[in-house]
């Protein structure tokens, strides 16, 4: 079984660390990086490979939608899971138009995260 490498992006350190804690409890993944906004993420992606990004949508400097658009402009098709505390149909539609893997409302549960990861990386399922 391969371990999926994750980057967590959120401007609130408490949410970022909380999500990392939950993700690190799931045995098919490893958090390999973190960023507090889209600009930091783009810089991190230059030096850190990742298999999936969990990204907040509302952040200063460069929000999640802008960051996803920039990632796609670079030809990077890494799966992105939109994570947000505010349900907004316009944001959801824009995220889906950019090809997000999933759209998750905070606070995320371990079961929700596992479901997303197993759908995204079925080969990583225990027993495979």
Dump pLDDT digits (tens) for 48-96: 999 999 999 999 999 999 999 999 999 999 999 999 988 889 989 999 9
How far, in Å, CA of 60 to CA of 80, rounded?
Answer: 19
Query: What's this model's pTM, rounded to 2 decimal places?
Result: 0.92
**What's the chain's length in residues?**
128
Are 71 and 44 within 8 A, CB to CB? Answer: no
Q: Does domain 4-120 have CATH number 3.40.50.2300?
A: yes
């Amino acid at each position: 079984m391969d371990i999926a490498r994750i980057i967590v992006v959120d401007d609130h350190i408490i949410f970022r660390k909380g999500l990392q804690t939950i993700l690190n409890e799931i045995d098919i993944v490893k958090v390999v990086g973190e960023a507090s906004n889209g600009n930091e993420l783009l810089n991190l992606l230059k030096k850190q490979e990742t298999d999936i990004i969990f990204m907040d949508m509302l952040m200063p400097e460069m929000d999640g939608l802008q960051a996803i658009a920039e990632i796609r402009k670079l030809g990077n098709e890494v799966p992105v899971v939109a994570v947000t505390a505010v349900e907004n149909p316009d944001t959801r539609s824009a995220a889906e138009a950019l090809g997000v893997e999933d759209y998750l409302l905070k606070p995320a549960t371990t079961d929700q995260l596992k479901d997303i990861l197993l759908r995204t990386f079925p080969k990583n399922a225990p027993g495979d």
